[in-house]
Amino acid sequence: MIESSQIVEKTSVKVRELSVSRGGFVIFEDVSFDANPGEVVLLRGPNGAGKSTCLAALHGALHPTHGIIDIELDDEERSPRELIHVIGHVPGVKTTLTVRENLQFWADLYGGSNDVDNAIDAAGLHPIADSDASILSAGQTRRLALARLLVAERPIWILDEPTSALDKQGDAWVGHLIAEHAKKGGIVIAATHLDIPHVPADKIKTVMINGAAA
Ligand SMILES: Nc1ncnc2c1ncn2[C@@H]1O[C@H](COP(=O)(O)OP(=O)(O)OP(=O)(O)O)[C@@H](O)[C@H]1O
């Protein structure tokens, strides 16, 4: 059995000739890449190209019309879903709960053993830990969403525009989080228009999603 604090070194993601349609239209076609332990895959492309759509297919929210997504696991105890953190456009923050209660909720749901207070501190949310999430600014809400990455260890992180709404210090925090995760052998697949600071260039793979019409 794998402990929740342990990265699964043999986990990898293989994507081959992936095509996805939505509402009867082909969004993108023929996307292939590998994401291996320690790698940060950045999906790039213009607005509407299909980056979020690709992420949705990777974590199983959308069915591809063609191609293969092969998530290789070295953990028979957990399903692929239990090995993936997904932080999407929509932050998934419960506005009727406080910041701490939100993270405790996620820690309980994920079966995470990591310290919620450490995640609050790391995200710079300590001064507002007992405030309702409904009063948070956009950047604070994004920080709270990202702090979920810290309450339970999961080897694959799927992140949609992780630095959106963040200030310079927040950008740096996310960069460090991602770099540390990769250093431990984790995999990050992120859609972004921006560079992620602090991640060594040799760990980054860029995948262009150009949309079907490009
Ligand atoms: N539920 C849906 N039904 C039909 N089409 C959709 C749906 N959601 C998104 N689309 C379309 O899919 C295309 C790709 O959208 P997606 O959000 O994946 O792009 P993106 O590359 O992430 O864009 P951005 O950089 O603006 O975030 C867009 O043309 C969008 O209108």
pLDDT at 73: 78
pLDDT at 131: 97
Rg (alpha carbons) of the chain, rounded to whole number = 17
Helix or strand run (H / E) with residue 150: helix 138-151
Ligand 1 near 102 CB (within 6 A): no
pLDDT at 113: 66
Q: Are 132 and 102 in contact (CB under 8 A)?
A: no
pLDDT at 212: 72
Query: What is the 8-class DSSP label of residue 189?
Result: E
Decide if the complex's ipTM is over 0.95.
Answer: yes
**Rounded to the nearest 10 degrees, how much is the dihedral formed by the CA atoms of 17, 52, 113, 80?**
-30
Q: Enumerate the domain spans of the chain.
A: 12-92+155-208
Ligand 1 near 48 CB (within 6 A): yes
Fold of 12-92+155-208: Rossmann fold (3.40.50)
Query: What is the 8-class DSSP label of residue 196?
Result: P
Low-confidence residues of the chain: pLDDT under 50: 1-8
Using the atom order of ligand 1, give the atom closest to the CA of residue 193: 25
CA distance 214 to 197: 29
Query: What is the tens place of the pLDDT at every residue in 163-180?
Result: 999 999 999 999 999 999
**3 state SS of 144:** helix
Q: Are 68 and 18 in contact (CB under 8 A)?
A: yes
Nearest CA to 33 among 54, 9, 56, 13? 13
pLDDT at 62: 96
pLDDT at 2: 35
Ligand 1 near 191 CB (within 6 A): yes
pLDDT at 82: 83
